Structure 1
Amino acid sequence: MLTPGRSLALHAESGKELPRVEAFEDLYAAGVRPRHGEVVMVAGRSGTQKSGFCLFWVAQMNLPTLYFSADMSAFTASSRLASMATRDTAEMVEAGMAEGGKYRQAYIDALASSNITFSFGSPITWKQIDEEIEAYVELWDAYPQVVCFDNLMDFEGAESDYTEQMAVMQGATELARDTGATVILLHHASDKAWEAKSSPWNPPSRDQIKGGLSEKPELSLSVALDPTSMAYHVACVKQRMGPCDPTAQRYTTMICEPEFTRFRRAEKHAIIRAPKPADDWSPTKVLLGS
């Protein structure tokens, strides 16, 4: 049992803001503040570069990270990181690894400073998670600062069972509380909603995220990719300690470079869509550098 003052003193460090990533500056300017020790959800429809977005984010922060990947193969994940670090395309990385010699060594050296540790396998199980965290602590004598799950519906039994999905959310929350790690969960939004057909390149609203699970994390981000311009839209649909827009009409924009698994700030403006007249939000352009 803790008094409020003692609780604040003990947990102040865990509530600090995560290291900022340059490509996300317009998202920060819109009031989004990801923090240590939170559960964060990144949700989007199929094919919206959710895995690439999450991998880029944790690679740029470069905090000690344990990444559970059921969506990507071991080679895909590691080649994406090499591509990100060298700005060579994934095809070039594959060719260089096949060539061997100095080309192979160059890509291996490019990953030497990475703090990401992977765990592959599908489905993801809690037994696997326990074993991997025990091994991580045995190796580094510390818990990872970030744990990523890619993705929620790849947990054992959680493909379509709402009860199991809720259990995953509860387990993720307990993991964050027990270890102090930021837990990032990737999740799907509906491809069958009317908005998925009428506005496929806009981020899905909170009610389109499957199972209503976006209401559980401290921070829920909704993402969408416009393949005609490679504009990547990110909306904050839930934030316990800051502004959010459950309708996802207000979003920031960055540029996606999927061939390098990289993201960068938009050159002119990051647009945050205007709210409906009934909404009391103020107008909406976030200028670069503001």
Structure 2
Amino acid sequence: MLTPGRALAQNAESGRELPRVDAFADLYAMGVRPRHGEVVMIAGRSGTQKSGFALFWAAQMNLPTLYFSADMSAFTASSRLASMATRDTTEMVEAGMAEGGKYRQAYIDALADSKITFSFGSPISWRAVDEELEAYVELWDAYPQVIVMDNLMDFEGAESDYTEQMAVMQGATELARHTGATVILLHHASDKAWEAKSSPWSPPSRDQIKGGLSEKPELSLSVALDPTSMAYHVACVKQRMGPCDPTAQRYATMVCEPEYTRFRKAEIRQVAAPQPAADWSPTKVLLGS
């Protein structure tokens, strides 16, 4: 049992803001404040670069991270990280690894400073989570500061069972409280809603996120990708300690570069103002002015 003062003193460190990422400047300007020790959901429709967004975020924060991936293969995830680090395309990374020699070594060296540790396997089970955490603590003598779970419906038994999905949310919350880590959980939004057809490149509203599970985390972000311009839209549909818009009509926009698994701040192009027309009129012409 804790008094309010003691609870605040003991948990002040865990509630501090996560390191900021330059590409997310417009998102921060909207009042979005991801924090240590929170459960964060990233939700979007199929094909909206959710995994790439989460991987880029984790890599840019450069915090000790344990990434559970049931959605990406080991090679896909590692080649994406190498692409981020070298600014070579994922195709170039694949070709270099196949070539071997100095090319292969260059990509391996580029990952030497990465603080991301992967766990691959599908489905994800809580037993596997416990075992990986035990191994992580054995290796580093500390819990990871960020835990990514990609994704919720790849948990054992949670493919379509709402009860199991709720159990995953409760487990993620307990995990964040116990370890002090920020738990980033990826999830799907409906592809069958009317908005998915009428406005497919807009972030899904909170009620379009499957199972209504976006209401549980402290922070829920919905994402969408416009493939014609590669504009990446991120809306905050739930934030316990700040502003949010459940309709997702207010969102930040950045640029997605999927071939590099990178995101960058959208540039605002200044359009030159039209010059005023010459000072003349038919009357002045006729009068010889």
TM-score interval for Structure 1 and Structure 2 normalised by the shorter chain: over 0.9
**How big is the shift at 1:74?**
0.1
- Partner residue of 2:197? 197
Deviations 1:134-158 (A, max 9, x none): 0000000000000000000000000
- Partner residue of 2:157? 157
Q: Give the Cα–Cα distance (whole angstroms) in 2 for the partners of residues 234 and 154 of structure 1.
A: 23
- Partner residue of 2:131? 131
- Partner residue of 1:103? 103
Q: Which runs of 4+ in 1 moved over 6 A?
A: none
Q: Give the Cα–Cα distance (whole angstroms) in 2 for the partners of residues 98 and 196 of structure 1.
A: 39
**How big is the shift at 1:75?**
0.1
Deviations 1:217-271 (A, max 9, x none): 00000000000000000000000000000000000100000000000000018xx
**How big is the shift at 1:190?**
0.1
- Partner residue of 1:168? 168
- Partner residue of 1:78? 78
Q: Determine what percentage of the aligned residue pairs are the same residue.
A: 89
- Partner residue of 1:29? 29
Instruction: Look up the SS of the partner of 1:253 in the other structure.
Output: strand
Structure with the greater alpha carbon radius of gyration:
2
Letter matched to residue 123 of structure 1: P
State the number of aligned residues. 269
Instruction: Look up the SS of the partner of 1:157 in the other structure.
Output: coil
- Partner residue of 1:12? 12
Deviations 1:39-75 (A, max 9, x none): 0000000000000000000000010000000000000
Q: Give the Cα–Cα distance (whole angstroms) in 2 for the partners of residues 268 and 186 of structure 1.
A: 30
Q: Give the Cα–Cα distance (whole angstroms) in 1 for the partners of residues 147 and 265 of structure 2.
A: 25
Q: Give the Cα–Cα distance (whole angstroms) in 1 for the partners of residues 210 and 17 of structure 2.
A: 28
Q: Give the Cα–Cα distance (whole angstroms) in 2 for the partners of residues 62 and 139 of structure 1.
A: 18
Letter matched to residue 21 of structure 2: V
- Partner residue of 2:178? 178
- Partner residue of 2:120? 120
Q: Give the Cα–Cα distance (whole angstroms) in 1 for the partners of residues 87 and 136 of structure 2.
A: 29
Letter matched to residue 21 of structure 1: V
Q: Give the Cα–Cα distance (whole angstroms) in 2 for the partners of residues 109 and 59 of structure 1.
A: 16
**How big is the shift at 1:88?**
0.5
Q: Give the Cα–Cα distance (whole angstroms) in 2 for the partners of residues 42 and 22 of structure 1.
A: 19
Q: Give the Cα–Cα distance (whole angstroms) in 2 for the partners of residues 90 and 25 of structure 1.
A: 26
Q: Give the Cα–Cα distance (whole angstroms) in 1 for the partners of residues 175 and 227 of structure 2.
A: 36
Indicate whether 1:212 and 2:197 are aligned: no
The normalised TM-score by structure 1 is 0.92
Q: Give the Cα–Cα distance (whole angstroms) in 1 for the partners of residues 251 and 91 of structure 2.
A: 32
The normalised TM-score by structure 2 is 0.93
